[in-house]
Amino acid sequence: MLLPDSRVYVAGHTGLAGSAICRRLEAEGHRNLLLRTHTEVELTDEGAVERFFDAEKPSHVILAAAKVGGIAANAAFPAEFLSVNLRIAANVIESAWRHGAEKLLYLASSCIYPRVTPQPIREEALLTGALEPTNEAYAIAKIAGLKLCQAYRRQHGFDAIVAMPTNLYGPHDRFDLEAGHVLPSLLRRFHEAKEAGAPEVIVWGSGSPRRDFLHADDLGTACLTLLRDYSDEMPVNIGSGDDILIRDLAFLVAEITGYRGAITFDPSRPDGTPEKRLDITRISGLGWRPAIDLRSGIEQTYRWYRENCARETATV
């Protein structure tokens, strides 16, 4: 049972998802959080992970650590996306079980669903079709982590559960123009174009794909719901219940950032999966619903970006 004094290890606590989960835990009175940076515990190092679990023996583990990136990064570094994420999952799940953790929550990703599948996507769609080629390496690693959780549950009775978040955004995201995900990349691109007085912003792809976006703070509340109220090998979708055309998203981000120039789409750049919206019936049945609408969430994220990142990421 997750109690206020439970020893909770959040792997990846400095990232987008992990930091949001920590904020939610702290807001609900959890003060016994075990947090380690990449330099303190290298999760790809089996021995380092084993020593950490042996010393700290957390009762609950949230595995939000991962090597992540957008289409360009996945295409350029498939070996790293596959090998790093495989090792992280194998090391943390094994050590959590071996050292008696009561429960583990593994964050997989909606990108592991087939490239083409009925919408909205139900959890049962997993492994029913071919993956999207632009993120295949990352997806395979995340599928392996999911299957590890199921295997440890079946063989050892370990209470390992899996969340399937949709496209996340919010504070502590990576606002990288080349390697980042679409929404934070757009925020930075339009912000810098506005500051520079650029007459045009070029957006990768045709603008025709549809995506489901969820604020990371909504993910945080969803993860606590799962830790408290869910125990099954079936993964659980966490999404907004809605989607938006990338074209419409670009115009929305331009409006929020105050950019007034032209917007041009470059269809020579890859679009990725044509459509992706998650069915959230399963987690809705536990009483969870997202609380932050897309416009409000982007406005809040843009304020955070200006206050924390704009100066250091500026290219002009």
Binding annotation for NADP(+): 12-18, 107-110, 142, 165-168, 181
Q: Is 138 a catalytic residue?
A: yes
Strand partners, 107: 163
Residues belonging to the binding site for substrate are 189, 204, 211, 271
How buried is residue 21: exposed, middle or buried, by Cβ count under 10 Å (0-12/13-18/19+)? buried
Whether the CB-CB separation of 172 and 16 falls below 8 Å is answered with yes
Query: What distance in Å separates the CA atoms of residue 184 and residue 53, rounded to the nearest whole number?
Result: 34
Count of residues making up the chain: 316
Q: Is the peptide bond before 114 cis (omega within 30 degrees of 0)?
A: no
Full DSSP string of 33-75:
EE---TTTS-TT-HHHHHHHHHHH--SEEEE-------HHHHH
* 106, 113, 138, 169: the active-site residue: 138
Residues catalogued as catalytic: 138
